[in-house]
Structure 1
Amino acid sequence: MYSYRKPIRRKKSRKSKSLYVTAMVLAVLGIFAAKLLVIFPTVYATADIQDVKLANTLAIPWPAYGQSAVGVKGHGVVSASPNQSARPTASVAKLVTALAILEKKPLVNNEQGEQIVISDADIAIYDFYLSHQGVVVDIKPGQSISQYKALQYMLILSANNIADISAKWAFGSVDEYTAYANDMIKKMGLSTMHIDDASGLSPKTISSAEDLVRLGEYALDNPVIADIVAQESIDLPEGTQKINTNVFLNYQGNGVIGIKNGLTDEAGGVLLAAAKRTVDNTQLTIISVVMGSERYFDSQKDAVALIDPTVSALSGSASIAAGTVVGHYDVPWGENADVITKEPITLNKWTNALDASYVELYPITTTTQKGTVVGKMTVPQDNANASEAQIMLDSDVNNPSTKWRIMGLINKTSY
């Protein structure tokens, strides 16, 4: 007898499916655990040769009063008198005002920019500075001054009323300007500087001589400011001409190209000067600052007098001091870690420490302690050889916290 049996359909094993899911979960957890507990996140390095210390027998003849510093445009402060502190800057602060205005309302050379219309309130500013024996430019309500002309009045004539009027025009008020300016100089790394006003009359507008050298670098990097501070005179609307208050500007062929002078009772005489010079066949812009002279012209002549001794000093041997910052590691979960020279590096010429030098930094892939060698610095010498020196961490680079790792994974932060 023929019979038919219906085939039995076998169900897939629940056990094998469960094992597959478990394996996938374990794989994901393994990747998560590796990133959470094992893999060291990327720590990027930045090389930056920040400073070179003079080490030769030629002393810089610092004035006996106040404080002074010298530098090289593009290479920072190279030497300074030992008594650096934050002191009133007088009208040198107008360079900050000009930089802030040009950051807010950029100009290019030969462009006049927007018109600043003089209001009745601006006359009160004029009267205030006139009563305090400050330098002013005559104005009247309804008069228009171009942005470029205002910058000329500020930087060539040192007009205090125009500094305030321009700051108010660009930022809405002098208070809003000072807030902006202090944020700007903080980003510039000018740690001793504080801006309390637009003109520099306030004794609370302060800086060290070293930071004024650095301010000079920023100012000369701006082509509009560099052009204005090099102008020996300015034509006024009534047809008269006034000379730059920086009286040593290109005086008797001294090569001075600017940049700003100042005088108040609290600051004394101040001059931030710059001059083109050739050092070992390399053209450099030397920057000098003298602050705090009792007699106004002492700071002017003494700042200019620092330039040639600086050239002589730069022409001699030099060293990069142990502990000089030459780079840093960007640590996303903590403070950046500076990289410093482990030992002094001796050079037979200071200019060898400029553009020809380079720093090689190794990647950091694990917890690394302060003092660990993380790279090398190479400086060419005249004999076609090169000096090499080890560079090391100036602080610890520790593992990130578990919380930071978890947040990094949640936010898809790249390791």
Structure 2
Amino acid sequence: PTPTPMPTPGAGKPAAASERTSRFVPLKPQDDSAVRPVRPAADSTAVVPQVGPERTTQQPLPPKPPLDLLAELTNTPPPPPTPLRTLGRRLKIWTPLVLLLVIAFAIAQAVRPLPATALTLTAQDSYTFEGSKLALPWSSEGQGWMDVDGVGTMDTFGEQKPVAIGSVAKTMTAYVVLRSHALKTGEDGPEITVDAIAEKEGGYNQSGESTLNSVKAGDKLTLQQALSAIMIPSANNVARLLARWDAGSEAAFVEKMNAAAKELGMTNTTYTDPSGLKETTVSTAEDQVKLGSAVVKIPALVAITSAASWTDPSGYNWPNYNELPFKMGAIGIKTGSTSAAGGNLLFAARKKVGGETVVIVGAVLGQHKPTILKTANDVSRTVLTAAQDALAPAAILKKGDVVGYVDDKLGGHTPVVVTKDVTAVGWAGLTVKLTFAGNEVPHTAKAGSQVGTLTVGDGTSSAVKVPVALQSDLVEPGFSDKLTRIA
């Protein structure tokens, strides 16, 4: 007989709510062909599979000091901190960094571009000629000015106020024309056709004007002939012809005259016509000397103004109203006379002094003693002769004298010397300046290399200039100099 099973406690009773377990519910319907999962026992808990990694929240720990970390790894406690150990630890950390910075700084200083060199003057920057201040024998009226080109002003007299200058204005006419139409000495230059106006104005000589009355409309004048006509017989009609030929009109040419005067620093000069006949064309002796200093640098014009006379195309010979060229070998420049202006003369002459040739430029304006033009010539001759006699040479430096040094801007100074004797031309009481003009000096150069110029005088192109050269080799600054530079 089959034994009767013992009843399980609680069997047949509904389970209490606390004893209920979750029940597996499939997410997808199971078809019959799939293998059915084994249903868990009623009293077991179903395991829900984990989807994705387990998520936790954990803060990173701060890094431990190197010695603590080493102690933890070796299971050796770190030594107790002391001031000496702390110092040693800091030295181990910072010493490599400091060494790296020092090396980087040294490399940067070594490859950094060198500063530009400079030329410095150590000799005296001026020289004064012995004697009291020079006083030239000027006229008792009018005004005057005398310069030695490239050296300075010799002497002056009278108030330098603008006054009428007459035909001295033709100096600017010639200067402006030659700026646009360059002419070499001995050349004829371009041809200029005489117009009807110039022919008509040629007859103005009957009323007292200076003209070239032999020209006819259609005639041809070379530029050299036209310039000779205005600078020697002082032909007003040719001056106005040149203005029209150069600028298209006399008014346009006058604008060019005033522009040129401004460039030359002639601040007290105003031109209103190319001939100077108008009383409104005014200037000063000082301003005219500035113009004369520019004119003496034009050889073709000097060749014209230094002539004692000129023969025009008709064969008539005109004496130069300026008597100084044939009386004392002057090189020009231009006379001018009207009843308002009186007698005026802008003049120039060369003088060889101590192996140097200098040019004296002077002007005398406002001479009203009759006859006015002769008075202007006589006064100018007297003062020019005295100026030439007053000139004297002075030995300032000898060849090989140290006059300065090349400064490499890092503490290095290489001496420089003059390459020949330095002689200045001057007069009693004159103080001349000595200045340096440096070339583009390299950082290395051999002894004897020219590195600049010593100028004695006012610094213009006519001043005395002597090359200066290195006394010894110029070398680059050393590594220590490069390393220690700050600026």
* Same fold, TM-score > 0.5, yes or no: yes
**Match of 2:305?**
229
Taking the aligned partners of 2:239 and 2:202, their CA distance within structure 1 comes to 11
1:98 to 158, 174, 178: 174
**Match of 1:304?**
381
SS at match of 1:199: coil
**Match of 2:332?**
258
Match status 1:130 vs 2:202: no
Q: CA deviation at 1:210?
A: 1.1
Letter in 2 for 1:136: T
Are the equivalent residues in 2 in contact too, given 1:92–1:270 (CA < 8 A)?
A: yes
**CA distance change for structure 1 residues 270 and 195 in 2, over 3 Å: closer, same or farther?**
same
2:287 to 211, 219, 227: 211
Taking the aligned partners of 2:379 and 2:316, their CA distance within structure 1 comes to 31
SS at match of 1:292: strand
Q: CA deviation at 1:222?
A: 1.2
Letter in 2 for 1:130: N
**CA distance change for structure 1 residues 379 and 240 in 2, over 3 Å: closer, same or farther?**
closer
Aligned residue runs from structure 1 range 135-174, under 5 A: 135-137=210-212, 138-174=214-250
| Structure 2: gaps (5+ residues) | 1-48, 54-124, 395-423, 439-453, 458-487
**CA distance change for structure 1 residues 116 and 269 in 2, over 3 Å: closer, same or farther?**
same
Are the equivalent residues in 2 in contact too, given 1:136–1:161 (CA < 8 A)?
A: yes
Match status 1:116 vs 2:192: yes
2:360 to 286, 295, 298: 286
Taking the aligned partners of 1:162 and 1:259, their CA distance within structure 2 comes to 18
Taking the aligned partners of 2:263 and 2:130, their CA distance within structure 1 comes to 27
* Larger CA deviation: 187-196 vs 304-313: 304-313
**CA distance change for structure 1 residues 199 and 348 in 2, over 3 Å: closer, same or farther?**
closer
Letter in 2 for 1:225: L
Taking the aligned partners of 2:357 and 2:291, their CA distance within structure 1 comes to 20
Q: Which has the higher contact order (CA 8 A, sep 6+)?
A: 1
TM-score by length of 2: 0.54
Are the equivalent residues in 2 in contact too, given 1:353–1:379 (CA < 8 A)?
A: no
Are the equivalent residues in 1 in contact too, given 2:149–2:359 (CA < 8 A)?
A: yes
State the structure with more CA Rg.
2
Taking the aligned partners of 1:269 and 1:66, their CA distance within structure 2 comes to 10
Q: CA deviation at 1:122?
A: 2.5
Are the equivalent residues in 2 in contact too, given 1:77–1:213 (CA < 8 A)?
A: no
Aligned length: 287
Q: CA deviation at 1:75?
A: 3.8
Taking the aligned partners of 2:197 and 2:335, their CA distance within structure 1 comes to 28
Are the equivalent residues in 2 in contact too, given 1:288–1:304 (CA < 8 A)?
A: no
Taking the aligned partners of 2:130 and 2:165, their CA distance within structure 1 comes to 26
**Match of 2:259?**
183
SS at match of 1:358: strand
Q: CA deviation at 1:262?
A: 1.3
Aligned residue runs from structure 1 range 319-338, under 5 A: none
* Larger CA deviation: 134-143 vs 54-63: 54-63
Q: Report sequence identity in percent.
A: 28
**CA distance change for structure 1 residues 197 and 132 in 2, over 3 Å: closer, same or farther?**
farther
SS at match of 1:153: helix
**Cα deviation 1:192-237 (Å, max 9, x = unaligned):** 1111111111111111111111111111111221111012222222
Q: CA deviation at 1:309?
A: 2.0
Letter in 2 for 1:297: K
Q: CA deviation at 1:74?
A: 3.0
- RMSD over aligned CA atoms reads 3.2
Q: CA deviation at 1:114?
A: 1.8
Q: CA deviation at 1:124?
A: 3.2
Q: CA deviation at 1:143?
A: 0.8
**Match of 1:249?**
325
Match status 1:201 vs 2:277: yes
Are the equivalent residues in 1 in contact too, given 2:134–2:154 (CA < 8 A)?
A: no
Taking the aligned partners of 1:54 and 1:246, their CA distance within structure 2 comes to 34
TM-score by length of 1: 0.62
Taking the aligned partners of 1:348 and 1:141, their CA distance within structure 2 comes to 51
Are the equivalent residues in 1 in contact too, given 2:309–2:320 (CA < 8 A)?
A: yes
**Cα deviation 1:129-179 (Å, max 9, x = unaligned):** 435411111211111111111011111221111000111111111110111
| Structure 1: gaps (5+ residues) | 6-48, 318-346, 362-376, 381-415
* Larger CA deviation: 279-288 vs 133-142: 279-288
Taking the aligned partners of 1:89 and 1:54, their CA distance within structure 2 comes to 37
Are the equivalent residues in 2 in contact too, given 1:76–1:213 (CA < 8 A)?
A: no
Letter in 2 for 1:103: R
Q: CA deviation at 1:360?
A: 8.5
Q: CA deviation at 1:283?
A: 2.2
